[in-house]
Amino acid sequence: MRQESQKWNVTTKLTFTQGVSISFSSFFFHVHSIFIVLAVILGACSTLAESFSPSLDNNVNIDSSVDDIETSRIVIVGANGGLLTNRDDIFFTQELPPRYELYWDYNVATKMLAYAGSEYHTLPEATWSVSDFWSYDYQSNVAMRWWSSGVGRVLWDPSTNFANARAALIVFNADNNDFSLGIANSPGRVRMLADHVGYAFSWSPDGTEIAFVRQSIDPGIYVLNVEQTDVRKVSDFSYKSIVSIMDQPLWIVNHDILAVADSGDRPLLFVSLHDTSEFAPTTTDANTIPGPRPIKMLWSPNYNQLILSGESGVIMETWIHNFGSNMYEVNKSVNLGHASLEGWYEYGESVILVRPDGAEIYSLPKS
């Protein structure tokens, strides 16, 4: 599938401005409790609907005093919906790239941001929310549109590098009245690999497979080999009781399982990658694991820890669960309080938390 692409060069670095006084209020894409009850009717293969000619002066500020932090740049979403980036272990406000509206993903290796140039939207008769797909390359300072409409979600391949950046995305397929999952290696080109795919999908850490959920046709969790295009079903679980637009299976490779957010009396479900077995982990006294239903999860193989955040009442909380060797029981749970988990700072060792008063780097406890 091919589509016209569009790009422009930004001749200077985006400006850093210190001041990370932020609050958990206004970022639409981070309203984690929004549940999916709607479906789209946009055509993914349509050509560009409009030609953009923005004034770059309105989007980029020049600051010759900004230090070069290309070797360590991490870009995350702040609590107010803006972008933050790091320097010397401190996060600063990052100017937005051209036409930025909402965050899709960021890849540390390529220093590329995936984002949307328009807010989630629907046509009057539509039901699923969608947008478009843009990238911003912090190394070459180029903003480029990869796909113009019908995009439901975008995730960079975590194993990618600057020479072969690629993304997985779901694009509305008018023939199926549903989303299809594809791989984009360059703007305007998407290789479609699976139909009837929901918002919940994720790359394996090595970039060879994608786990995704179907809800409409033969519901369940599937694993796709992206090169051989083989698809296998690993569970009947499909988020039927409750689903958030932020849901995605978490790969726990050293235990050959996927972790998914459930609901009710079992906020977590573990699904085997190689057979049909699945189980809900508990505390050592067989009680439900404490903490909220997760909308963001990370796994530390170094310490056998699951780090997650989710809504607990009216605030966002982050928890750490220490697992035993068999993964059936949580030996210890720690509540890190009012904080949103935004990603790794140092893989397996420290995470980035966004709190009402700013972002922090939290080193994981070793036990």
- Same domain as 285, residue 191: no
- Same domain as 315, residue 184: no
Answer yes or no: is 113 within a domain: yes
* pLDDT of 74 higher than 90: yes
> Which of 179, 195, 211 lies at the terminal end of a domain, its last residue?
195
- Same domain as 147, residue 2: yes
Q: Is 58 helix (H, G, I), strand (E, B) or coil?
A: helix
Answer yes or no: is 311 within a domain: yes
- Same domain as 285, residue 179: no
Domain count, the chain: 2
* pLDDT of 116 higher than 50: yes
**In the predicted model, what is the mean pLDDT of residues 108-118?**
96
d(CA 347, CA 100): 27
pLDDT given at position 174: 84
| Enclosing domain of residue 129 | 1-195
> Which of 195, 221, 237 lies at the terminal end of a domain, its last residue?
195
- Same domain as 191, residue 286: no
Answer yes or no: is 356 within a domain: yes
- Same domain as 290, residue 188: no
d(CA 339, CA 173): 37
Among candidates 326, 247, 248, which has minimal Cα distance to 281?
326
> Which of 177, 195, 213 lies at the terminal end of a domain, its last residue?
195
Q: At 126, is the pLDDT very low, low, confident or very high (cuts 50, 70, 90)? A: low
Answer yes or no: is 26 within a domain: yes
pLDDT given at position 308: 97
- Same domain as 292, residue 169: no
Answer yes or no: is 218 within a domain: no
Q: What is the mean pLDDT of the chain?
A: 82
Answer yes or no: is 89 within a domain: yes
- Same domain as 320, residue 171: no
Answer yes or no: is 226 within a domain: no
Answer yes or no: is 7 within a domain: yes
By the 8 A CB rule, do 17 and 62 touch?
no
What phi-psi label fits residue 354: left (phi over 0), alpha (psi between -120 and 50 degrees) or beta?
beta
Which of the residue ranges 63-67, 88-92, 236-240 would you say has the lowest mean pLDDT? 63-67
Among candidates 213, 155, 175, 145, which has minimal Cα distance to 41?
175
Q: Is 136 helix (H, G, I), strand (E, B) or coil?
A: strand
